[in-house]
Amino acid sequence: MDVSLVRPALWSRAVLIFGGEQKAARWLRTRLSELDDRTPEEALDADANTEAVDAILDRIEYGVFR
pLDDT in tens, 19-44: 999 999 999 999 999 999 999 999 99
CA angle centred on 53, ends 48 and 56, rounded to 5°: 160
Residue-number span of the structural domain to which 47 is assigned = 3-61
Banded pLDDT at 48 (limits 50, 70, 90):
low
Is the distance from CB of 65 to CB of 59 less than 8 angstroms? yes
On whether residue 66 sits in a domain, the answer given is no
In contact, 26 and 33? CB cutoff 8 Å: no
pLDDT category at 15 given cuts 50, 70, 90 is very high
The distance of Cα 8 from the centroid of its chain, to the nearest Å, equals 12
Q: What is the pLDDT of residue 66?
A: 60
Q: What is the reported pTM?
A: 0.87
Domains identified in the chain, total number: 1
Region 6-18: mean pLDDT is 94
Number of H helices, E strands in the chain: 5, 0
